[in-house]
Amino acid sequence: MNTKETLNLFNEKYLKLSRSSLIQYVKEKGLKLSWEFVNNRPKDDHKAPGEQAIDGFVLNLRFFIQNNEPTSISNIEKAYKKMENQNLLGCISENRKILNEFLDTDFPFKINENRLTNREIMDGFVYSQIAHSNKSRHQPFVKCYESTNTITQKLIEHQFVAVCLVIFRILGCIYNVNIEAIQKS
């Protein structure tokens, strides 16, 4: 597959992701999580896409996060390194850097004395809950997620969807750079 074909495939997969139920849900209804205590019992208000919408999004998201795919963000950056346009490469590299910094940011809450990063939450859901069942490689996530109460699980799930939305925004930036690169080729 040549570079132009790879960029076109990336854009096709991005457009498919943009039409996903998860993105449509968030556009129409937003994303919300709040809780309060009523009569000494926790009560939550959780508005988020359903399990099928999240699963469908993740199955397509894998094209961008798994390096065995030519459309992974890492492989797209490698493709741009082969091109002779430093401005476009700079845009891709900057978006990848922003994404990695975000993924390596700590989730703001400690859970059972543990603090997860956004990357651990993303990888934990993708590789131990949704697309794979490899719990042994994601022990910090599994320990936090499976040994806590329902409200805390919803908080982690909410953060996962928020992480997916940040990734989607970064992918949108790369999609726009790809359009420019394709037009120039």
Among candidate residues 31, 18, 95, the one with its CA nearest the CA of residue 57 = 18
- Mean pLDDT, rounded, for 106-110: 88
The reported pLDDT for the residue numbered 128 is 86
Q: Is the pLDDT of residue 116 over 70?
A: yes
The mean-pLDDT minimum among 66-80, 102-116, 141-155 falls in 141-155
pLDDT digits (tens, 9 = 90+) for 117-152: 999 999 999 988 787 676 777 778 878 778 777 778
The reported pLDDT for the residue numbered 44 is 66
The reported pLDDT for the residue numbered 100 is 97
The reported pLDDT for the residue numbered 21 is 96
Please report which confidence band the pLDDT of residue 2 belongs to, taking 50, 70 and 90 as the band edges: very high
Q: Is the pLDDT of residue 173 over 90?
A: yes
For tokens 């099928």, the residue is 52
Give the percent of the chain with pLDDT over 70. 97
- Mean pLDDT, rounded, for 10-19: 98
pTM of the complete model: 0.90
The reported pLDDT for the residue numbered 48 is 87
Q: Between helices 150-184 and 118-125, what is the axis angle to 10°?
A: 90
How far apart are alpha carbons 93 and 174 in whole angstroms?
10
With beta carbons less than 8 A apart as the criterion, state whether 8 and 182 touch: yes
The reported pLDDT for the residue numbered 39 is 77
How far apart are alpha carbons 68 and 112 in whole angstroms?
34
- Mean pLDDT, rounded, for 45-69: 92
Mean pLDDT score across all residues of the chain: 90
Instruction: Number of helices (H) and strands (E) in the chain: give both, helices first.
Output: 8, 2
How far apart are alpha carbons 86 and 100 in whole angstroms?
21
> What is residue 35's three-state secondary structure?
strand
> What is residue 182's three-state secondary structure?
helix
Q: Is the pLDDT of residue 40 over 90?
A: no
Q: Is the pLDDT of residue 35 over 80?
A: no
How far apart are alpha carbons 46 and 181 in whole angstroms?
41
